[in-house]
Amino acid sequence: MIAQDKLVIRTIQFGMLAAMFGAWYIVTRSGGTLKLFLPAPELVWREMGVLVRSGQLWSALYVTVVSIIKAYAIAAIVGIAVGFAVARSRTLVHLFEPVLSGMFAVPLTMFFPLFVLFFGIGPDSKVAYGATYAFFPIALNTIAAFSNVDDLYLRASRAMGASGWQQFRYVYMPAALPVTLTGLRIGFFICIASVLGGETLAATAGVGRATALAAELMETAKLYAWISFVVCMSVMLNLLALAVETRSERE
Amino acid sequence: MTGGNVVGANAVSARATGVQAPAITISNVSMTFAGREPSQSVHALDDISLDIRKGEFVCLLGPSGCGKSTLLSIIGGMLQQTVGTVSVNGTPVSSPRPDDIAYVFQESTLFPWYTVLENFRLALKFRGIEEANWRDRAMQSLSAVGMEQFANHYPKQLSVGMKQRINLARGLCVGSEVLLLDEPFAALDEQTRMVLGEDLSILLARRGKTIVFVTHSLAEAVFLADRIVVMTARPGKIKASILVPEPHPRSPDFMLTDAFQNIRKELYGLLRDEIRQTVAAMRLARDAQA
């Protein structure tokens, strides 16, 4: 894309964002009961400042981020290991692939109370829940990636005298990388959504918990402040995931 | 006979080999692919015997489905024959032998996730060649096919013809004595085919490798081969062996000579019946299904 086109697109995007905030501001000036559900932007901004200065944001963010990291690490390691092991044989793929994709189709949210029952109301239940949910797309994509490596490349590498390890390192791995990465990215966002969602349902700490509490107490300015933090966090994580992806694509 | 000489396959091999030990010896090879049921098994090759001497360029020609690619896979150790033996440089072949045999496939098998140069380095690494020589050998083979300026391109940045040219160069760079080519130009247009055929003839004259080339193009076979082995419809047997007494490198002018045209006509005569038979068998199979 030409730099000028890019500039135009960015300008329009920021324009839409500004229009949204402008509409928000104008609506809150018109008064009425709406104020209770939709506080003015400057009130939300003030509340955000309070949450930052009081340290509430940092302690909640710490709990949530650590849970996400733990859950994602478990999902990625177990998902790739299981996916790779299953993809080793046609029979195993036929056996496990439909089971895993069937389980992934079930809304695991319904099982969340079980996670609380087994792992307690603390962060552990959110870690287990997020890891379980993110495991499925990672494992399924890894299976697809490794079982669909083009036979032509395998035959060619065999004809060229590649050893088993060389075939894995230079043919299987690079061939399977793009689809595996897609699984890791889907898993990443499912993991974040699951941990935050779990926190809003049953937790003692974390950003999700703080958001739900603000809603229960009808502290709407605070509620919007927490939501704004979640939006900022998502945008930053998305940028991080994009950066990782473009780097691995270049390699 | 004006063009080539039709002789029994064994008579030719006896004369062509002379005193020198053949590079490739195929004796009484048959191949049957087992189906799920006995009725579904396919008899692909029937009692093939063929000697190919060092430095000879042999084309396997036959109707589609006659088992010529199967025979090539067996020579390369990619497939195991049901009956008979295949020896390359005096040793029976039972698995891929990259030290003696390089294999070039119909489609480009350049790994899309590596650059051209990385692809060459990998081929040399698989072959077990010392790292110090990689770059030189890769660049040498690339310049032999006029592709050295594309060393750092990825395969997807190249045209089909360029990819296949590089694919061929990769087969050459590992330095195996025997080169097996499975319809390497099949996916290319007529003009690119001719240019690549000429390249191959020049390379061959320079390096003296033993080449077995599968094709179903009559002109390609006559232009490239020292000897054309014509196969029958399935199960594939050797129908005739035709010599092309024209030294390499051959120029495109060779295609305009009477000698070329006569061999081509002769091949057409030999193949016509086989192709008819193949078509009839396909119709029969279709009707049986319906």
pLDDT one digit per residue (tens) for chain B, 290 residues: 344 444 444 444 444 444 577 888 888 888 888 877 777 788 888 888 999 988 889 999 988 778 888 999 999 888 888 888 998 888 888 888 888 888 888 878 889 999 998 888 888 888 888 778 788 888 888 887 788 888 889 989 988 888 888 888 888 887 788 889 998 888 777 787 888 888 888 877 777 788 999 988 888 889 989 999 998 888 888 888 989 888 888 888 888 898 889 999 998 988 888 888 788 888 888 887 76
Report the SS3 class of residue A134: helix
Cα B172 to chain centroid distance, Å, stands at: 13
Output the domain CATH number for residue B266.
3.40.50.300
**Cα radius of gyration (chain A):** 23
- Are residues B88 and B28 part of one domain? yes
Nearest to B126 among A153, A155, A162 (CB): A162
Is A246 part of a structural domain of the chain? yes
The β-bridge partners of B59 are B213, B228
Mean pLDDT, consecutive 10-residue stretches, chain A (251 aa), reads 81 92 85 76 91 92 94 96 91 92 92 94 94 96 92 88 88 90 92 94 91 91 93 88 78 59
Q: Is A156's CB within 8 Å of B128's CB? A: no
Structural domain contains residue B193: no
| Chain A residue with minimum CA distance to B110 | A153
- CA terminus-to-terminus distance, chain B: 46
Cβ-Cβ contacts under 8 Å, A174 against chain B: 111, 113-114
Q: For residue A192, give the CATH number of its domain.
A: 1.10.3720.10
Q: At what angle do helices A56-87 and A173-201 cross, to 10 degrees?
A: 140
Q: Is residue A131, in this structure, part of any structural domain at all?
A: yes
The neighbouring-strand residues paired with B29 are B48
Query: How many contacts (CB atoms, under 8 Å) link A and B?
Result: 51
In a domain, B191, yes or no: no
Q: Does B12 fall in a domain?
A: yes
Query: With an 8 Å Cβ cutoff, are A153 and B107 in contact?
Result: no
Is residue A6 included in any domain, yes or no?
A: no
Is A90 within a domain? yes
pLDDT attached to residue A32: 66
Q: Give the rounded distance of the alpha carbon of A195 from its chain centre.
A: 9
**In this structure, are B25 and B96 located in the same domain?**
yes
Q: In this structure, is residue B53 part of a structural domain? A: yes
Residues B123 and B171 in one domain: yes
Distance CA A138, CA A132 (A): 10
The number of distinct structural domains making up chain B is 2
Instruction: List the domain range (segments joined by +) for residue A109.
Output: 42-250
- CB atoms B127 and A160 under 8 Å: yes
Q: What is the pLDDT of residue B4?
A: 44
Residue A192 neighbours by CB under 8 Å, 6+ apart: A68, A130, A234, A237
Give the total number of structural domains in chain A. Answer: 1
Q: Same structural domain for residues B215 and B95?
A: yes
Residue A28 resides in a domain = no
**Residue A181 falls within a domain, yes or no?**
yes
Task: Point out the domain boundary residue: B124, B152, B175.
Answer: B175
In this structure, are residues A247 and A228 in contact, taking their beta carbons and an 8 Å threshold? no
DSSP-based three-state secondary structure for B223? helix
Give the phi and the psi of residue B51 in degrees, each rounded to 5. Answer: -110, 135
A83 within domain boundaries: yes
Nearest to A159 among B103, B114, B125 (CB): B103
Q: What is the ipTM of this complex?
A: 0.75
CB contact under 8 A, B103 and A156: yes
The answer to the question of residue A29 being in a domain is: no
User: Domain of B120?
Assistant: 101-175
Q: Is the same domain home to B264 and B132?
A: no
Contacts of B109 in chain A (CB under 8 A): 152-153, 155-156
B251 in any annotated domain: yes
User: Smallest Cα–Cα separation from A84: which of A182, A199, A185, A168?
Assistant: A168
Class of residue B254 by CB neighbours under 10 A (exposed 0-12, middle 13-18, buried 19+): middle
Distance CA B220, CA B264 (A): 10
Contact A207, A220 (CB under 8 A): no
Contact A160/B174, CB-based, under 8 Å?
yes
